[in-house]
Structure 1
Amino acid sequence: MDWIIGLVVAGGSAMGLSWYLSGLREKPMTPDERAAHAPGKSVQLSDGVIHYSERGPTDGQAVVMVHGFGVPQFVFEQNAAALADTGFRVILFDHFGRGWSDRPNARYDTDFYDRELTELLDALNLTEPVGLVGYSMGGIIATDFAARHPERLTAIILLAPAGLAVYPFMGKLFGKIICMPVIGDWLWRLRGRSLLLGDPQFQEPLPDPARRIRGDDTIQMNYKGYFNALLQSWRNLPLENCDEVFADASRGVPMMALFGGKDPTISVESAARLKKAAPHARVELIEEGTHGLLYEMYDTVNPMLIEFLKANSR
Structure 2
Amino acid sequence: MKKSLLPILTLLFSFQFITAQTDNLQWLDIELSNYPYPYAVSVLELKIQEQDLKMAYMDVKPENYNGKNIVLFHGKNFNGAYWKTTIEALTNEGFRVIVPDQIGFGKSSKPQHFHYTFQQLAQNTKTLLDTLKVEKTAILGHSMGGMLATRFALMYPKMTEKFILENPIGLEDWKLIVPYQPVEWWYQNELKKSYDGIKKYQLVNYYDNKWKPEYDQWVNLLAGWTLNSNYKIIAWNNALTYDMIFTQPVVYEFKNITAPTLLIIGTRDRTALGKPLVTEEGQKTMGLYNELGKKTQKEIPNSELVEIENVGHLPHIEKFESFIKPLIRFLKK
Shorter-chain TM-score bucket reads 0.7 to 0.9
Asked if residue 54 in structure 1 is aligned to residue 59 in structure 2, the reply is yes
* One-letter amino acid matched to 1:260: G
Match of 1:302 in 2: 324
Once residues 248 and 185 of structure 2 are traced to their aligned partners in structure 1, the CA distance between those partners, rounded to angstroms, is 24
Q: Which amino acid aligns with 1:41?
A: S
Contact 1:260 1:286 in 2 (8 A): yes
Is the Cα contact below 8 Å between 1:165 and 1:240 reproduced in 2?
no
Q: Which residue of 1 is the match for residue 108 of structure 2?
A: 101
Unaligned ranges ≥5, structure 1: 1-24
- Structure 2 counterparts to residues 226-237 of structure 1, below 5 A: 226-237=234-245
What does residue 302 of structure 2 align with? 280
Q: 1:199 aligns with which of 195, 198, 201?
A: 201
Residue type of the alignment partner of 1:217: L
SS for the counterpart of 2:140 is: strand
Matched, 1:217 2:225: no
* Offset, 1:145: 0.7
1:186 aligns with 2:188: yes
Quick one: structure 1 residues 41 and 213, their matched pair in 2 at CA, closer, same or farther if it must change by over 3 Å? same
Q: Deviations over 1:182-215 (max 9, x none)?
A: 4553344235876534322698744374x88679
**1:180 offset after TM fit, Å?**
2.1
Alignment of 1:135 with 2:134, yes or no, is: no
- Aligned to 1:150, the other structure's residue is in SS state coil
Which amino acid is the alignment partner of residue 57 of structure 1?
Answer: P
Cα 1:70–1:215 change in 2 (3 A) is closer
Q: CA deviation at 1:102?
A: 0.4
Change (3 A) 1:28 1:206: closer
Matches within 5 A, 1:24-43: 29=30, 34=33, 37=35, 39=37, 40-43=41-44
Q: 1:184 to 1:294 in 2, by over 3 A?
A: closer
Task: Tell me: CA distance 1:139–1:78, structure 2 relative to 1, closer, same or farther (3 Å).
Answer: same
What is aligned with 1:113?
Answer: 121
Tell me the matched-pair count: 274
The more displaced of 110-119 and 136-145 is 110-119
Q: CA deviation at 1:272?
A: 2.6
Cα distance in 2 for partners of 1:247, 1:158 equals: 15
How big is the shift at 1:90? 0.8
Deviation of the 1:260 alpha carbon: 1.0
**Using a 3 Å threshold, how does the CA distance of structure 1 residues 236 and 208 change in structure 2: closer, same or farther?**
closer
Cα separation, partners in 2 of 1:194 and 1:56, compared to 1, 3 Å = same
The aligned amino acid for 2:59 is E
Partner SS for 1:291: coil
Q: Is the 8 A contact 1:260 1:288 kept in 2?
A: yes
The alpha carbon displacement at 1:54 in A equals 2.4
Deviation at 1:276, TM superposition (A): 2.7
Question: Identity, % of aligned pairs?
Answer: 21
Runs (5+) with no aligned partner, structure 2: 1-25, 272-286
Change (3 A) 1:77 1:213: farther
Q: Name 2:269's counterpart in structure 1.
A: 263
State the alpha-carbon separation in 2 of the partners of residues 256 and 275 from structure 1.
8
| Structure 1 residues 183 and 309: alpha-carbon distance in aligned structure 2, compared to 1, 3 A threshold | closer
Q: Which amino acid letter does the alignment assign opposite residue 235 of structure 2?
A: F
Q: Specify the SS of the correspondent of 1:217.
A: helix
Q: Distance in 2 between matches of 1:305 and 1:294?
A: 10
What is the one-letter code of the residue matched to 1:95?
Q
Moved over 6 A (4+): 25-28, 211-215
Query: Are the structure 2 counterparts of residues 212 and 193 from structure 1 closer, same or farther at C-alpha, using a change threshold of 3 Å?
Result: closer
Aligned with residue 133 of structure 2, among 125, 137, 140: 125
Cα-Cα RMSD: 3.1
Aligned to 1:13: none
Higher deviation after alignment, 272-281 or 141-150: 272-281
